[in-house]
Amino acid sequence: MTTKTEFKHILVGVDDSEDALLAFQYAIDMAKRRHAELTIVSILESHELSVYEALDKDYIHGERSKLDAHIKTYVKRAMDAGVEKVNALVSEGKPGEVIVKDVIPHANPDVLIIGSIAKKGFKRRFGSQAAYMAKYAPISVLVIR
């Protein structure tokens, strides 16, 4: 029987940002130490697309294909580092909502590891994807800075 803190299945969000790369490295280290399964998720953010790009199904398919190929580099890095079982998921939408509402129920991890750079000034008032996930995720969340 596992307890809530054994973390036998780790979910990590990646997006190539510096803080996400730190979270990814932390997740690899934790997965190796605990012989845990690692699921890597990346979200194609729809708000980063222009109106024309969002309406162009070929463009979206191409961006999704690039992200599918790119996440395989994360899988390889985790396996090369010694993680025994690695999965990858790619989805589309607002990262916080998609991870909390879709990915976590689908993947059924014990813990979510995400990166977060502290925002300063005006941007701080809008909150962040990390804050959303920490507040609403039904599992433990580790925020790496």
Rg for the chain, CA atoms, rounded: 15
Q: Given this model, what pLDDT does residue 6 score?
A: 85
> Residue 36 to residues 5, 10, 78, 139: CA-CA distances in angstroms?
12, 7, 12, 16
86 within a domain of the structure (yes/no): yes
44 within a domain of the structure (yes/no): yes
**91 vs 125, higher pLDDT:** 91
Considering the entire predicted model, what is its pTM? Answer: 0.84
17 within a domain of the structure (yes/no): yes
Per residue in 1-49, pLDDT tens? 455 578 999 999 999 899 999 999 999 999 999 999 999 999 987 655 4
Per residue in 112-123, pLDDT tens? 999 987 555 444
1 within a domain of the structure (yes/no): no
Q: Residue 96 is part of a domain; what is its CATH number?
A: 3.40.50.620
Count how many domains the chain has: 1
63 within a domain of the structure (yes/no): yes
